[in-house]
Amino acid sequence: MNVTPESRICVLGLGSMGLGMAGSLLGKGFSVAGFDPNPVAMERFSELGGQTAADPATAARGADVVICVVVNAAQTEAALFGPEGAVQSMAPGGTVISCATMAPDAARELGARCGEMGFGYLDAPISGGAARAASGELTIMASGAPELFVGLRPVLDAIAAKVYELGAEPGIGAAFKVVNQLLAGVHIAAACEAITFAKAMDLDISKVYEVISASAGNSWMFENRVPHILEGDYTPRSAVNIFTKDLGIVADIGRGLDFPTPIAATALQMFVMTAASGMGRDDDASVARMIARIAGLELPGMEH
């Protein structure tokens, strides 16, 4: 299956990442249908010029490519194989691009089920955040049959600046993403701890951000997340619950391999504590608010 400008694309999951990806595809001239259970997301997609649908099966009717940008393996399975799942109405020989972070075993199982039904399956988790999704500059860590990469190249180029071809079997891409999420979760937790530690020492945290961003202690997550803290804006670009899930996957895999992950385990507990404090659906920088509450500190946006 070779994608052409006439190919029909379906995007399932129109959150911050999926909406950006759908917008990038529309900007490249593709016909894109989509579904999300959130009416607000559907409205935003429609405003971009997308075709909304009442369920995944309707959105995927006749689609050559279905891009599934949901939260986890369970949601991916439901979107594809549920009672109103996409596979029942896709074009014969079409391909699923699965972008959710999940355990490698889950990706292998989903890939096998698609293969049994005659569909291609690209295990293609994504990284880069909402801004890069909207600009078509994501990083994709993908694995699947080599011919899929060739046939899907116009779609992949529309949504990503970097596409890593990591192997022929589903599950490899998922494993790479788990490594990424281990680091991302640890870096967010460390950034939140560091900026709150600075507050405890009565430092100007805006100046701390400026200095650390230009110093060896900087990380992409520090540079990206600390502005949310400085602005007191915890609108979820990426929610706390994402990392309770993803670092939970890290913990499960480590346990299965008899491999210790003590730093990731500590970060996981920081996210769990934040979720338990009622902030699970807030931005993952809310870990800083959780620490501040324990320490009796006030960060921006907490002055009440």
- Nearest CA-CA partner of 160 in 175, 138, 130: 138
68: which residues sit within 8 A by CB, 6+ positions away? 12, 13, 76, 79, 80, 86, 96, 97, 98, 99, 100
**H-run or E-run covering 107:** helix 104-116
Distance CA 297, CA 287 (A): 13
**H-run or E-run covering 234:** none
What is the separation of C-alpha 54 from the centre of its chain, rounded to a whole number of angstroms? 23
Q: List Cα–Cα distances, 135 to 6, 34, 161, 163, in angstroms.
A: 22, 18, 9, 15
Distance CA 264, CA 250 (A): 8
Phi/psi for 10 (5° steps) reads: -125, 135
- What is the gyration radius of the CA atoms in the chain, in angstroms? 20
177 carries an active-site annotation: yes
**H-run or E-run covering 239:** none
Longest dimension (CA), the chain: 63
Token pair 């507050």 is found at: 199
Which one of the listed residues 28, 177, 199, 245 is annotated catalytic? 177
Distance CA 115, CA 135 (A): 32
Q: What residues are annotated to the active site?
A: 177
